[in-house]
Amino acid sequence: MLGLFKEIGATWRSIVSVVLAYGGIVLLGLYNQHWLRLATDAARGVYNHIIDFIGQFSDLGSSLAMMGLEPGSVFVSMMTLFMRVVVLSLALWIFKGLGGLIFGRSKSSRY
């Protein structure tokens, strides 16, 4: 059981990014439905490009579409990637800077 907690601790950023992505989707739906519509339209475009690109080489595009690759799953993937790369990285950078300003930095941590 301790190994499970160790692995969850190692992947906390992924877990937080998924939770933030779903929270962002809910906030988009509640706050401004026009932005949600724009984001889903962008995801639909990415979905169409994926299916068209894969369909050029094989029939895998239609198989993926039947197996569950849909614009909604592409949208959630895009939101998760955005939350992981932009929001979470920016938040960690800001908190690291604030921690350095508040608590000071030791000479060994400077480059």
- Which residues form the domain of 70? 2-109
The pLDDT assigned to 86 comes to 85
**pLDDT mean for each 10 residues of the chain (111 residues):** 74 81 86 88 89 77 74 86 85 85 67 50
**Based on the structure, what is the number of domains in the chain?**
1
Any idea what the Cα angle at residue 50 is, between residues 21 and 52, rounded to 5°? 155
Phi-psi region of 32 (alpha: psi -120 to 50; beta: other; left: phi over 0): beta
Q: Quick one: DSSP state of residue 85?
A: I
Specify burial of residue 55 (Cβ count, 10 A radius: 0-12, 13-18, 19+): middle
Token readout for 99 is 């921690």
The pLDDT assigned to 63 comes to 76
CB atoms within 10 A of CB 45: 12
At 106, which amino acid appears? S
At 102, which amino acid appears? I
The pLDDT assigned to 70 comes to 83
